[in-house]
Structures are given as C-alpha cells and as structure tokens.
Structure 1
C-alpha cells in the first residue's frame, strides 16, 4: 500500500506498530534520517527529481561502503520517504541487509514492483543484478545449496560487469564489483588474483583518491599481504571520518603487522565515533554493527601493549553496557560475553590473582546460570587461590568442580541405561498428549529440555579441561613437576601461563623453551618478551636477559610497569643501569596519515541520555507530568491503546510483577496513544484490572519525544524504557512489537542500577 502525501495510512487490517508495507519493513530503523557530517562524497546519479531524496540516497551508498548498515537503511528509507516512487532506494535498503537475506528479499521485491515507473536503465540494471543474487524464500523456492549460492555469486559478478560495459565510468559499479569479488570467495567463487582486484581499485582512486573503497583494499590484503594495504590504512578513516568502521578497519592491518599500539588507536577512534553517533541517535551500543567486535579487539590490543589498567577498564565497561535478548547476552557475541571473557583473560594472563578473587562475584564477574561460563569462572577462581598460596580454598573449589563432573558422568551413564522400550513408551505417551498440548506447554518443554548425550559429552570434555587447569595450578604451587606435566597435557594452558607455572614447578629449561617459542611467534607483544626476560634471568642467563630487556624498554612504551609481571623486572632494570621508569617513549610511525585528536571524535565511553520531560493526562482528566514520577528508577512503557492486543498482553504480564519491581525500588508507568476519555472507557470495560498507572498522550507528543514513532509511516511504535533516579535512560526497546520478557527486564534493570 502506498502512503498518502502526508505518509499516513488507513489500513486497519495491519497490526498496531507493524509496517503497512509488509514484514520486511517491521525491522530496521523506523526513525527519520538526517544528513550526517563526515561522510564521503558519492556520485551516484538517479532518476529522482527530488534533491533531498538524491542527497539521502548518496549518503546511504557512502554508508554501505563503510558497512554502516543500520544507518544506510535509514538513509535509503528517508530517500523513499522524499520520493515514494524511487525504486533504487529500495535496492539500497536491500543492499543494507546483506546479513539478513530474508529481509533483503522483501526489500528488493519492493524495488522490482516500482522499477518500471521509478527507475532509468542504469538503475534497473542494479535492481535486476541484486534480484538475481538474492535467494528466493517460500515453499516453492528452489533449494539454496552451496552450488546455488556459488552460481548466484557468479551471476552477481557478471551482472555488475554488465553495468560497467554499459557505463564504463561508473566507479560505484567498480566499487561494488571489488566488494563482490572479495565476498564471492566465501561463496565458492575463487579469488584467483588479488593484484587484478587491486588494479580495479586503482582505477577508482585515479578518479577519487579518497574514495571509501580504501575499506575494501584493507579487506583484500588483510589476510594475504597486509603491507600492501598500508596506504589505505592511513587513508581509510580520513576518507569517511563520520563512520566508526572506517577507523576500525586499519586496525586489521596494524594488528597483522604487530603494530598493536597503532591498532589500539584506530579501535579507540572507532569506539568514540560510534559513541558520538549513539548519543545523537539514542541507540543502545550493541545495536551498532561490529560495535562489540571493535571494542573487544581494542581490549586485546591493550593487553598486547601492556596497558593493563585500560584493558581492565575496557572489559568492565563492555560488561556494564545494556543487555538485550536479541543482540547482547551471555549466549551471543555481544559486549557482555566479550567483556567477561576479556576480563578473565587479562586477570589470568597478567597474574592479577588478588584482583580476580576480589572481582569474582562482584559487579563484573558475577555468578551466572550458564553452566559453561560458571565453570570457567570457578576454574580461574580456584587457580587464583592456589597461585596466591591459599591451597585450602583452591582445593575446596576444585572439589566443587569435580562434583559437577561426577554429576555429568552419572547422568551420562543413566541415559545410556535407558532401554529402547522405555524411550518408545515415552514417545507414545507424548503422542497421546499432543492433541491437548498448548503453545505454553510446548515452550515450557523446550525450556526444561535436558542436555542430550552428545551435549553432555561436550560439556564433560570442557569441564575436564578446566579441572586439569586447576590441578596444574595446584601442582605448580606444590612445585610438583611430574604432576604438573601430567595435568598440563589435558589443561590446554595458554603457552605463557604454562611457561610461568612450569618454571615454578622447577623446570626452568622447559619453561624457557616455551617462552622463546612464544616470543618468536608473538612479535610486538609486551607479555611474551617480559616473561622471556624474567626466565632468562632466573636461568642465570643474565647477559641475554639484559639484552632482551633493552628491546622490551621500547616495546613496553605504553605498558603499566607497576603490574606484577613487569614490576618483577625492576631488579633487571637496575642491573642494566636504569633507575625509575625504565620505558623508552615510542616514536610515531611516519605512515599513519591524518589522525585527529581522539577527544574530537567523540566520548571514550557510551553515555546514557537524559529522558525527555513530558505532560499527559490521567484517566480522570487530571494533568500529570514526568516530574511526578521522578526521583526513583522507573520502567516507562509506551503502548498503542486498549485495541492493541499485544500491548494488553504486555501490561498484563507486567501487572502481576509490579510488587517485584517495587521491591527492587523500580516504579512502572505506561503511556497510551489514547485520549483520557477513551483510556478510562478501556479501563472500565477491560476484564482484568491493570495495576499500572496509565497516562493519556492523545497527540502522541510524548511518543515522538521518546522516538517511539515511525517517521516514515507516521505511526506510533511500542517502547519500553528503564530510567534511573537521575532521569537518565539506561535501557530501551523500541519496535513494532512490545517487549515481553518481564523476567529479563527486571533482572537487567536491577543489574544496571547496581553498577557503579
């Protein structure tokens, strides 16, 4: 259905909050785009007569080149808002969903419907090329196996070349061809010559030396010959400084070349640009593509260069960011999981055992219901006790892990003893119940499902490795070389940890061999060289230790030398004739390109934003305001009236839990799209009491101020917000459906409000 001139619709068959254009438009950005500074100037002519539509379209193309997919889709949607017949704008939306092929299919189908009215010959070639590339979905769709994927990828490359045959000066076609040749390698289309692709990139740079395809050159050479991308590493961020990923990408090259300080700068720059944008757009951190990946990589590089305190701070910050079931939990590759993993990595690798013990069970390493993560945490906690000389505490935790292992082994044996007849009887009973089973029964059964035998075996394998690690730490503490080596074989210890523990178990020669090997493999890292220096000295190779220490002095230019690992080298520094701070400042490399001051790019940390103030009416017509609910943490729910069944489900899911929230010091208030008379009528006529205070926002002024509004279709959206006692928004969910996981909302609200 097409929108009216105002963008409004009268399709009453569409569920509240859902897009009038269909399922593909439910997800993705629903708030309007703005023209963002710091983006590359793109020349991509289209048939639109709207200057604004053209501006937003070309902004979207620039954002595609930076893999900034959320904002690219927003820009293309804005272009379509400015010119509803602009078919190529829907091509752009589909391109922005390369990681979600089903959505992309729905969007390119929209472009196909419009192309005969709103596209010229060149635009039709782009639309047809993407249409052939994207798979079909549905019962009648052909099987999309590896051969089909390869064929589609080959066709896409050929179709992009067809555009170049017709329009040889189209550098955007060349740019997308470069990208697809690189991506096609993953789909079975072998990349036979990187130099040939590089030559195509050179044609683009001959026209525009600062085109954002510097991004693609980095990807091209990243895994093959990273030195060949150094020029693009210098130009990538400056070519499009408003896109965080363009600052991140050079970090790939510098990391591969063991230039970890330069890589860390790039990743911090990327984080700052992301944070600045999140503040403007009011986004939660993990809503940004690659945000968590960038920040955990920054943490790793801080570890490499010995900036231990900054690495700890960074990992803790990742843990403290808002979680969401869709994109950031312990089960997903989001900030929380990365932060927890990196924090354990830093504390264990830099032997900060006292801090690990202090941290465990605190804000950033709390106990968790995830068995695997809990066991990993308990394992390191036991190690920390042994390494700090508290053998009794370490042994107690080790026994706890052993009991877990025995329980799993017993469960596995019990499952093996089940007879085929018993399984068949259980199946028959389940079949008898199937007709009476409700949807809730099915979901409960899924939640209660036991681990399968294969899952138990995998779990046991991991747990045995953890137990072996703890046992190795205990043997090292006892200086029992033989037992240590037995346990170390199964423990899969990080090599440098193994070297230090082996030395403590009195095998200095074996420890030194490991340290030398790791030093050679891990060029540019502070920790391997520091451990090598220490072990050389302990092995009475003092001249070689001092020689290696001189190299370390420059390598550790940014390192925290008061950490235990480096502090123990102070006597070697004295032997080398160095007093006090023994670090030698690093000279900046000459090939870095333009680097603005970091604080000009944005804040180092994601910042909450201030909740908008508002006025509304209670059901009796009394005027109320946000101030009356201030001073205490609160959940604010935006719902689409009593006519929205999903909204009523959300309110009735929250109502019985209102006391649980109150006990946690959290109030709940709900704001409706209805006027106060309709709101009162709905309350009087509804079959269940609603315990939550309801506020009328008849003109949706509050909805719009909180961005619970689809600017493209002029309709309200569902929203759920956690606002703290300082009126800062700490968590939010805005979308076409209400947030229904009440248990998660309560638990996450409590966690966020307790963080320092």
Structure 2
C-alpha cells in the first residue's frame, strides 16, 4: 500500500461544460511541434488547432500506424535506392524502410519512412513508402500517396515520380462519385500497376528495386485477376536481381513464386531468405513454406521457431503487443502444427499455452479474429486430442488456459472435445453429461429454426401493410436476429460435434459399428477414428485406415507411431518391427513421454534397444547459414518492465510508480480536461472503479496538464468520480511510456495494465482513448490469473 491515500478525482462535467472546455482549449492550447510536408496556410493552421487531441495534423490516414521514432537496426538487407534527399539520415531510414517492405514488415517499414520524413519533410518518395507499407489498407495508402503528389514537381526526380505515379494509378480514389471498385476495376488497376513498374525499367534498366517490386506486383496481380502465365519468366527476372545482389531480400518473393507448385525450385532461396535479413522474423518464416511442402517438417519447424524468437525479441524491445505484428499468430500456429508432425509435443504445448496467455485486444486478438488467442486455443485442443493427452485436456479445461468462453462456436468445439476426453479416460457418466449439453443445444437450435419459419410466414402476410412504417429500431432488431441459413449452418456443425462425442462413447462401450457411423457424420480425423476403432475391438479396420494415412502423411511421426502400435496390438510383430525402424528416424526429435510413443516402446524392448530408441538426425546440406536459436530471441513472449514515473497530485503532493509496486494497477494517460474523448473515457471507467479494486487492481490517471491546470479543472467540475488524477506537466511520463508522437511532438492516449511485478501485461496507445472498461476488466482478471507469460 502507498504511504498516502491517492488524491480525490475531478467531478464529471456536464455536457455544456464539456463543450465549453473543449472549445476553450482548442483556442488557447499551443500546437505541438510537427513536421508537416507543406507549410500550413492560415486556414490550415486553424483547422489543425481544431483537431481532436491525439489526432495527426496530416489527416486521418496518419492517425493509425506507428507514431514513435524509428531507429537504425542491425540485421537488415543493404538496399540501394537513390532519392532526391540531401539528408543522409533521411536516406538511411528510407532505404531501411524499403528493405522492410521486401520482408512484409509493414509496421516497421512505415515507422522508418515516417522517420525519413522527420529528417526531410519534403521527401515525396517517403510518402510513397508509407503507402506501400499499407498494402492491406488501401484507404490509408490513398491518404499517404495524396500527400506525395503536391511535392512531386519540386521534390522528386523523374525516377521517384514514376514510382509515385504507379502507386497513384493503382490505388482507388474512395470518391463517393467514383464508379464502384469491383473485381474488374481492381484487375485493370493491377494490370496497369505492372505496366507502370515496367515503365520504370525502360528508363532505368539497372534499377534492381524496380525489378523486385515488379516481381511482387506480378505475383500479387495473379490474386487480383491478372493471370501469372509463366513462373519461369518471373524467376528469370529475379535471377537478374541476384546476379547483382546474391542476398537481396527478393528471395522472399521467389519462395512465394514456387510455393504453390514445384516447391523444390525454391530451395536455394529457402536457404538464403533468413540470412538475407536476419533481423526480420518473416524472412525466417518463409522458408518453412518450402520445407513443409517437401515434407521436411523438422526444417520447417526450425524456420518457424526462428521467426517466433525474432518476433518475440523485437516486440519486447519495441514494446509492442504480439498481435500488432504482421503474421505473428499465423507463424506461431504453423510452428505448432509442424512441431506436432515431428512429435515435439511438449514444445507444441508450451507454444500453445503462450499464445492463449498473450494479451487480447478487441481490435486484433480475440476469438472473433484470427489472432493469437484463437489459434492458441485451437492448437492446444489439437495437440491434446491428436496425442491422446485426454487427462491434461480435462485438467486445463478446469483451469485458466482452456476455460469455457463466450464465443459460441469455440465453446461448442471445446465441449465436444471435453466429452471425448471423459469417454477416453473411462469417465462415461461425465462424458454422457457433457454430450447431453450439446444435444440440448441442438434441440434449442431446431426450435429456433421452427420459430424463424413461423416469423417469416407472419412477416410475409404483414409486409404490405407495414412496409411504410418501419423504424430504425426495427432495423437494429433485424441485425441481431440470425437468418435461417445461419441457424442451419450452426446446426449442421453442432451435429458433427455431437457425432464426434458419440463416436468416443461408442468406442468406450466397444461398439465398432457405431464408431464408423458417427465418425463419418463427424468428419472425424482419420487417425483418431482408427484409434477409436481399435479401442472398440476392430483392429482390422483401424489398421486399414492407419496404413492409408501413413501414405498420405509422409514424414510425420504420429501416423507412423499409430501404425506400429496397431500392428503390435494385432499380433503382426514382424511388420511392427519393420515399421518401427522407419519411426525411429522420423521420431528423432520426438518426445518419448507422450502416451502414443510410450505405447510403441514395447517394440523397442522386444528389439533389445535402449530406452531412447530414436535415431539422431543429420542436418541437410542445403540449409544455408543457421544461427543458434537462442541468439535470435526467447522461445516465449514476455511482458516488458514498466517504466518508472513521477507525477503530482492537484494539491502538489509528489507521487511515483514505486508507491504502487507490489500490486496490479491500471494506469490511464489522458490529454487533459480539454480533451472531450478523455473525459468520456474517465466517465466510462469511473463506474467500474470498485470492480477493478475488488479484482485487486488500483486505477490511476495521469494528465498532460501541470498542477495548476489540473487543480483548476477539478475545481470547475461538479460531479464526483473517484479515479485519482496526477499531473505530468512536462509529459516525461507520457514519453517514457511511449504515449507520444515523436514525429509531430504531441501526446497520445494510453491505457496500461501493470502487474505486481511491475510488468506491462496489456496496453493500448493511440489517437483515441480505449473506451471498453468491461472488456479490460475481464481481460485484466484473466491475465493476472495466469502464472506467467
């Protein structure tokens, strides 16, 4: 507990008072120093002064993305991309941004281009770079390329102008009067982009960056309706790049080129991709595509682990939340899949547990999005079910890693596996109870479908009379209702889940015929079906399935181990010994303590082998340079240490972070009483203050204001709220927490969950404050329950 009680907080303003304060603040507050590309006119300056606090002076497109300074980092490719800047620093950051573009490291690429503009505000081509870094967000990209266009005539050479024009022609305009951006229009723009990139090479044939970006556009164009007719022709173009720069990051593009077909032609680039830019995780990830296609799962897993480690190190260093990184969740879930292929079950579990323990955020990581939590939960269930860790699945379903959740689809998937786990561990009564809960859900859905049919009939009868009196509330209600097709799809999936649990129940009662019937309805994994059939006594059918799966899943430990186990159980001991020799090589990295591999140890014993019967794997001779994995970063993401801070209460009492050490706290950085959105945030969080405290979490807020302004604001308000407020007049605390736009010199909103060990477990920094206290309360309780990240 702190030595003194936190100061009382301001009274919430009336709406009239809020509007008055905001208007007054907008007039008197000095503008932060910024670096606009064009000197603002008087009208533009007035428009800037009226911006909401935290919003960019350059327009809506610049609100998002990185707003903290870039640094020159090691481990990136050396790119030669001449520009018209006279600033060495602007040039260095620009070329760093181009290298990062080639690696699809878009967040850091945009940061580097923004830093380039910091050193040369008139460098038009830097806006092109920022637009290129927003490949998946064309509206933002349009806002950025529009900033470049007025600068071209005086601040870009002919080559830069061609690059800017090419992207300008490609991006849609987002004009309300423009034709609809349909597939045909997109295809035409993609074709023109390719043509425009070729124009650069007509005038500048030695520009290998133009060749690299042309390769990229040809590959992407294939997704946009411009058919890629010759992969060899594109590969030949890349050969021209590598003739000049053998370690150019275009190896990334060659892997994408050959990944869909003839992956073996990408092996040379797979060896060089990571070493060409070892500081970027995605460049280590990409070779995994090639190795996976060639059934070289151990090599693929190494690449994905290298990628995960580099990402972890970068995020911890840059203070980013994991799912803010492009492709992070996908890389890690693919790593888990490959770990399972080679039998590294314990590492797969550890990585899955790390994914579900990462901070969730409504924008980019939840069960409704393809983020770490969704992937981690799915891969944990996959790991436990495929390797028969049924007791562990049940235990973690009663704990903090695999609890029941609100997402309906995920919850029903979880329920089905829990039911299977109970049957597999011999607890038939608990399995049946869980199965009945799924069946009750099915009955409820069938009733919903009937109700919807009745409602549709009534609405058809009444539509002519009521069509002209529909209200906005009616429209809102309609959005909440599920359509019959949505209910049917849900019902179809639920029936498959019920069949999965029913197959496990049939296996428990030794009913092989029902196992087959339910497995077909459930679309059950064939290897799990084989194990269920074997449990039910039908070893012949189980063996047929296992033999087929071994052929389909070459190079994978699990099907081979299941085949050996079933052969031995069926009395085919000589064939089991023969297949065991194949397993010994495949399982060179596998964990022998899993139930599946423990069962086949009986074969090793019969062959008088040592307890560790695996055959050591010799590394392939085509892998290229591979550093020690530990040198790249940690296997798991860890929360970073919270910066220290000092501030003052309204009565002039000094406060510091140390007074809150030893207990969790939520620290809100707000932009003063003049920021209406900040007042709305405090107003939203105030009613939840007691709930946070009941969860053991203190809540404090730190303002950009000095003590005098804070005291004046408190005195002017007339509704009490209890969040303690502190003044950070020189914004030192804001800067230390990176709630600061280094490019425009202005503070940003920030919300941080800091645990009892003074580590930041969750954060949100941006141009607008975080406004969902209910989400953050539940997420804070979830994170703090976890033993460690």
Cα distance in 1 between the residues matched to 2:310 and 2:516: 48
Q: What pairs with 1:348-359 in structure 2 (closer than 5 Å)?
A: 348-359=385-396
Match of 1:265 in 2: 302
Q: Deviations over 1:26-68 (max 9, x none)?
A: 0000001100111000000000111100000000000000000
2:142 is equivalent to residue 105 of structure 1: yes
Q: What pairs with 1:114-263 in structure 2 (closer than 5 Å)?
A: 114-263=151-300
Q: Deviations over 1:110-148 (max 9, x none)?
A: 111221121100000000001111112131122211111
Cα distance in 2 between the residues matched to 1:630 and 1:370: 35
Higher relative contact order (CA 8 A, sep 6+): 2
2:72 is equivalent to residue 32 of structure 1: no
Match of 2:707 in 1: 676
Query: SS of the residue aligned with 1:671?
Result: strand
Query: SS of the residue aligned with 1:39?
Result: coil
Pairwise CA distance, 1:599: 1.1
Deviates most, 707-716 or 597-606: 597-606
Cα distance in 1 between the residues matched to 2:350 and 2:88: 46
2:508 is equivalent to residue 477 of structure 1: yes
2:518 is equivalent to residue 487 of structure 1: yes
Runs of at least 5 residues in structure 1 that lack an aligned partner in the other structure: none
Match of 2:21 in 1: none
Match of 2:11 in 1: none
Match of 1:706 in 2: 737
Match of 1:610 in 2: 641
Match of 1:509 in 2: 540
Shift of the 146–321 alpha-carbon distance from structure 1 to 2, 3 Å rule, reads: same
1:668/1:692 contact within 8 Å kept: yes
Cα distance in 2 between the residues matched to 1:219 and 1:427: 55
Pick aligned residue for 1:88 from 93, 107, 125: 125
Deviates most, 168-177 or 482-491: 482-491
Pairwise CA distance, 1:266: 0.8
Pairwise CA distance, 1:4: 9.4
Pick aligned residue for 1:737 from 765, 768, 774: 768
Match of 1:275 in 2: 312
Shift of the 187–320 alpha-carbon distance from structure 1 to 2, 3 Å rule, reads: same
Instruction: Tell me the TM-score normalized by structure 1.
Output: 0.96
Match of 2:632 in 1: 601
Match of 2:599 in 1: 568
Match of 2:8 in 1: none
Cα distance in 2 between the residues matched to 1:630 and 1:542: 63
Pairwise CA distance, 1:541: 2.4
Match of 1:519 in 2: 550
2:400 is equivalent to residue 363 of structure 1: yes
Pairwise CA distance, 1:620: 1.3
Runs of at least 5 residues in structure 2 that lack an aligned partner in the other structure: 1-30
2:722 is equivalent to residue 691 of structure 1: yes
Pairwise CA distance, 1:629: 2.4
1:329/1:336 contact within 8 Å kept: yes
Q: Deviations over 1:373-417 (max 9, x none)?
A: 111111111111111111111111111111111011111111212
2:699/2:723 contact within 8 Å kept: yes
Query: SS of the residue aligned with 2:274?
Result: helix
1:683/1:689 contact within 8 Å kept: no
Pick aligned residue for 2:666 from 635, 652, 670: 635
Q: Deviations over 1:610-661 (max 9, x none)?
A: 1111111111122221222222111000001111110000000011110000
Query: SS of the residue aligned with 2:761?
Result: strand
Cα distance in 2 between the residues matched to 1:104 and 1:418: 45
Match of 2:487 in 1: 456
Q: Deviations over 1:288-334 (max 9, x none)?
A: 00010111111111100001111111101100000000000011100
Pairwise CA distance, 1:69: 0.1
Cα distance in 1 between the residues matched to 2:314 and 2:618: 32
Pairwise CA distance, 1:505: 2.2
Match of 2:359 in 1: 322
2:32/2:744 contact within 8 Å kept: no
How many residues are paired up?
A: 748
Match of 2:695 in 1: 664
Deviates most, 528-537 or 34-43: 528-537
Cα distance in 2 between the residues matched to 1:204 and 1:144: 34
Shift of the 612–142 alpha-carbon distance from structure 1 to 2, 3 Å rule, reads: same
1:85/1:117 contact within 8 Å kept: no
Match of 2:15 in 1: none
Pairwise CA distance, 1:576: 2.5
Deviates most, 735-744 or 422-431: 422-431
Deviates most, 358-367 or 159-168: 358-367
Deviates most, 6-15 or 455-464: 6-15
Match of 2:13 in 1: none
Pairwise CA distance, 1:452: 2.1
Pairwise CA distance, 1:574: 2.0
Cα distance in 1 between the residues matched to 2:613 and 2:660: 56
Query: SS of the residue aligned with 2:187?
Result: helix
Pairwise CA distance, 1:149: 1.0
2:619 is equivalent to residue 588 of structure 1: yes
Cα distance in 1 between the residues matched to 2:478 and 2:776: 21
Shift of the 5–701 alpha-carbon distance from structure 1 to 2, 3 Å rule, reads: closer
Query: SS of the residue aligned with 1:720?
Result: strand
Instruction: Tell me the TM-score normalized by structure 2.
Output: 0.92
Cα distance in 2 between the residues matched to 1:394 and 1:86: 66
Cα distance in 1 between the residues matched to 2:309 and 2:512: 48
Pairwise CA distance, 1:182: 0.8
Deviates most, 417-426 or 538-547: 417-426
Q: Deviations over 1:223-278 (max 9, x none)?
A: 11111111111111110011110011111111111111111111111111111111
Cα distance in 1 between the residues matched to 2:166 and 2:575: 63
2:579 is equivalent to residue 579 of structure 1: no
Pairwise CA distance, 1:419: 5.4
Cα distance in 1 between the residues matched to 2:679 and 2:296: 56
Cα distance in 1 between the residues matched to 2:317 and 2:631: 15
Query: SS of the residue aligned with 1:610?
Result: coil
Cα distance in 1 between the residues matched to 2:331 and 2:456: 51
Pairwise CA distance, 1:20: 0.5
Deviates most, 492-501 or 621-630: 621-630
Pairwise CA distance, 1:507: 2.2
1:683/1:690 contact within 8 Å kept: no
Cα distance in 1 between the residues matched to 2:370 and 2:750: 25
Pairwise CA distance, 1:561: 1.2
Shift of the 430–365 alpha-carbon distance from structure 1 to 2, 3 Å rule, reads: farther
Cα distance in 1 between the residues matched to 2:595 and 2:573: 20
Cα distance in 1 between the residues matched to 2:646 and 2:595: 56
Pairwise CA distance, 1:422: 4.8
Shift of the 427–492 alpha-carbon distance from structure 1 to 2, 3 Å rule, reads: farther
Query: SS of the residue aligned with 1:406?
Result: helix
Deviates most, 6-15 or 577-586: 6-15
